Structure 1
């Protein structure tokens, strides 16, 4: 199936936030922990990495180990990644550190990072400059400063990237949000059917931000997520509540645990 056809099907399958909410009469409660993957080779080279992929660096593996050690006390019932190698690898490192290497991990392509189209593999600076130009700004540096000051939102930036792609294949903000929320809904529905309470999912930074873009008013949703940072969402009574954004406490806790054991 061509990329554009896949993206169109993704959007048409979910036209509004109400379409993905589980029935409001439900009284089930589910905790969903989303973690960004560990640092990769392309992250290190400051290259665009969406549907393109690269392996974790030694530092990325180490941070994933810390995350696994920090999450170890949580009784997870289900585990998810996308089909991207960096997310799979991060999950396997986490599970090994938790002593759960044999558990089943479900892959959902919807959990992929944003598709950046023709920008894939190029320097991040090139993509940022192109998006800034589309927004009428002098450079990516100016755009990021405007975002830091709260003058430009994340969604306009994502849409500017999409509009700047000369290959016309980069996803826009709605497309990323749609598929990520579809994945979230699917995970919760499976958890409710199975009577499960805690879910761990590994995804990517920008796609996680798009997922929560209309689920919270917390301005932290517009801040970049560090590698292995956690976003926690609680589903209860048919609604989603984002309680933590960019949480590094699990990594810090795990680092202390591992260093003490050495």
Structure 2
């Protein structure tokens, strides 16, 4: 593991980092959204910490999401430093009429780091993972996930083990930093009395965050572009209320159609 990756985790144990110290009674709602579709998504390339711009379809679905979220008053906005997340948030903010809103960047909100697989064709990574699992090459790993035979934690851990560079993150590392980001957002909201937070992140990292927070089976299904995961915090507890919600996109699409 790279020194910089290890150093970021030294202060954390393997236990869940979901802990908010203050005993507040205020509630906070956190809406996590996956970014819009990108060029590397389109070309079936591995995109973790590697990055690429949104496609026209990616911008469009971000606009739909923004229009669908318009009725919610958000107090804070977060992304990582990835361009695709920034671009998605910028598009959302334009649509909800808050183009000048401050956006806080947390590197913990990045997608899974896929190490030596970054930028390569997806099939290379999945073939290597299938080999590690003793399966046939090709789309078998994804098929096993879709059939419920392999969960996403196993998939991420297998990708990590299959990386010749030995730098790809495993599921625990991703969960730890994502839950750390979640705690940071909630602590900041509680200090200022904020109620609603919007965070744009990436699909697998969001799902790794949820891995021990809910029994909802959707936590083992890939998130669509612009899908929403809603988490509520109250009295020291987190409750995952929605996983993979596309209703905001549908609502926004209809609203934009009517406005033209």
Q: TM-score, normalised by structure 1?
A: 0.96
Kindly report the root-mean-square deviation, in angstroms, between the aligned alpha carbons of the 2 structures.
1.3
Q: 1:137 to 1:83 in 2, by over 3 A?
A: same
TM alignment of 1:213-228, pairs within 5 A:
213-228=211-226
TM alignment of 1:178-257, pairs within 5 A:
178-257=176-255
Cα distance in 2 for residues equivalent to 1:47 and 1:184: 28
Asked if 2 retains the 8 angstrom alpha-carbon contact of 1:91 and 1:202, the reply is yes
Aligned residue for 1:192, secondary structure, equals helix
State the shift of 1:20 in Å: 3.3
Aligned residue for 2:204, secondary structure, equals helix
Asked if 2 retains the 8 angstrom alpha-carbon contact of 1:10 and 1:175, the reply is no
Deviations 1:145-180 (A, max 9, x none): 222222211111101101111111111111111110
TM alignment of 1:51-66, pairs within 5 A:
51-66=49-64
Cα distance in 2 for residues equivalent to 1:140 and 1:23: 46
How many residue pairs get aligned? The number is 260
Aligned to 1:34: 32
TM alignment of 1:93-242, pairs within 5 A:
93-242=91-240
Aligned to 1:85: 83
User: Structure 1: which 4+ aligned runs deviate by more than 3 Å?
Assistant: 16-20
Q: TM-score, normalised by structure 2?
A: 0.97
Single out whichever of 57-66 and 125-134 deviates more from structure 2. 125-134
Aligned residue for 2:9, secondary structure, equals helix
Bigger fraction of residues in helix = 1
Asked if 2 retains the 8 angstrom alpha-carbon contact of 1:36 and 1:228, the reply is yes
Asked if 1 retains the 8 angstrom alpha-carbon contact of 2:17 and 2:180, the reply is no
Q: 1:77 to 1:4 in 2, by over 3 A?
A: same
Pairing partner for 1:47 from 45, 48, 52: 45
Asked if 2 retains the 8 angstrom alpha-carbon contact of 1:52 and 1:120, the reply is yes
Cα distance in 1 for residues equivalent to 2:5 and 2:191: 28
Cα distance in 2 for residues equivalent to 1:120 and 1:18: 27
Segments of structure 1 that go 5 or more residues without pairing to the other structure are none
Cα distance in 1 for residues equivalent to 2:7 and 2:20: 21
Cα distance in 2 for residues equivalent to 1:197 and 1:17: 28
Asked if 2 retains the 8 angstrom alpha-carbon contact of 1:24 and 1:237, the reply is no
Cα distance in 1 for residues equivalent to 2:131 and 2:144: 13
Asked if 1 retains the 8 angstrom alpha-carbon contact of 2:64 and 2:248, the reply is yes
Cα distance in 1 for residues equivalent to 2:169 and 2:151: 17
